[in-house]
Amino acid sequence: MPNDHLPDHPLRYALVNELHARPFPVLRAPCMAAYVAIKEPVSAHNRDRGADRAHLLNLLDRHGSAHPQPGATHFSGPIGRAELKWESHTEFVTYSAFTPGLSARPFDPFEAEVFPADWVAQAPGKRLVSVLIRVEQMPATRAEALARLDEWFVAESLALSEVVDGAAIIAGDFRIDAGGHMRFAVFVREGVGERRIGRIVQRLCEVETYRATAMLGLSRARDLSTRLNALDPRLSALVAALDTRDRSPEALLEDLLDISAELEALSARFTFRFGATAAYEAIVNQRVSVMREERIDGRQTFGEFMMRRFDPAMRTVKSTEARLKAMTERAARAAELLRTRVDVERSAQNQRLLESMDRRADLALRLQHTVEGLSVVAISYYAVSLAAYAAYPLGKAVGLSKEMLTATLVLPVIAGVWLMVRRIKQAMH
């Protein structure tokens, strides 16, 4: 059968199109980029995405721009002089506005007003990231470039490097300025392509966005550590009590179930955030690595900055996650040991109960034998009386008195009754 007659998988085109869903911007130096990431503080992955779309349409309508397709997760289009790029992610939405030319004042807060303050205030979420990126041609000398960067940024936390095989110099101090924006500078060499410039700017935005979202796990880890610090002594004391007889196993098991339930609730509450933090951390490290940094005059690179400031936070998150997992496993092992102890004690109780039942059965058997003996006597008594009445005419005929006749019948009747009871007993068993 020819290949063009083969039916396509229903998701074939959708999956291929996803590879090209978020192209890099095409930028020409000099230009300015304003970038905003908006996130719901709670349950952002379950947010109302229709509200995100409505917020985007509000901005587009202010400029009379075209609307995206229904259900779209990304959009590009003009808003005034700027080119807008909108993307919807799992936990947040991002807005990028690229404007040609530069303001006379570096990082002028006016440049962020491409996103009006009243429009930002109406966002279905909170501003997580706000970035201004200044892209300009490389100064004539490296000393001049470094002088500008030292003037614009805080020297103590300034990170800068030459990236993408010397195509550009990037710099930033990862501090929020008085206008509420984080600032980055990009000096581009002559002849660098517009798409390469767009990739550099896009990666800077992504580094800051995923760094911020990853750091959300740190605050959660601190909250979790406080709760684990309260649970750990309780769990340790309970495990130590397994070797003593001060408390009943039932009471210990009840306390252990309370601790285990709380640990499981904490695990369910924090698992998503810790998993997202690990994913975002990997993206940050990957975005930094693909820029192929080269050190400039002994200054710290973005990679070194992340290693000193970002990695310790991520290690804290990982250690807290590992601690929660270890405590959950400890509680499970303690529960298993306690169940074993309870089972052993119950087995001993059952053994004692069975021994008691055996003794009672033995006593009952002895009592039964006694009753059987009394039953033979009682039955024989009535049987002798009846037999005496039946044999009295015969005894009178042969000259036996009533008393002699009765005495003669006693032994045979008792023997017959005894044999009858024994036969019945044998038949039953």
> Helix (H, G, I), strand (E, B), or coil: what is residue 179?
coil
Instruction: Please tell me the predicted confidence (pLDDT) of residue 372.
Output: 65
Percent of the chain residues topping a pLDDT of 90:
57
Please report which confidence band the pLDDT of residue 284 belongs to, taking 50, 70 and 90 as the band edges: very high
Instruction: Please tell me the predicted confidence (pLDDT) of residue 1.
Output: 45
Strands (E), 51-155: 74-79, 82-88, 92-100, 126-137
Average pLDDT of the chain, as a whole number? 87
Cis amide linkage into residue 30, ω under 30° from 0: yes
Q: Decide if pLDDT at 50 tops 90.
A: yes
> Helix (H, G, I), strand (E, B), or coil: what is residue 205?
helix
Q: Decide if pLDDT at 282 tops 60.
A: yes
Instruction: Please tell me the predicted confidence (pLDDT) of residue 241.
Output: 80
Mean pLDDT (whole number) for 407-425: 76
- Range with the largest mean pLDDT of 147-161, 255-269, 337-351, 369-383: 147-161
DSSP annotation of 429: -
φ, ψ dihedrals at 99, nearest 5°: -115, 130
The sign one gets for the Cα dihedral 282, 283, 284, 287 is positive
Q: Decide if pLDDT at 272 tops 60.
A: yes
Q: Decide if pLDDT at 3 tops 60.
A: no
Instruction: Please tell me the predicted confidence (pLDDT) of residue 136.
Output: 95
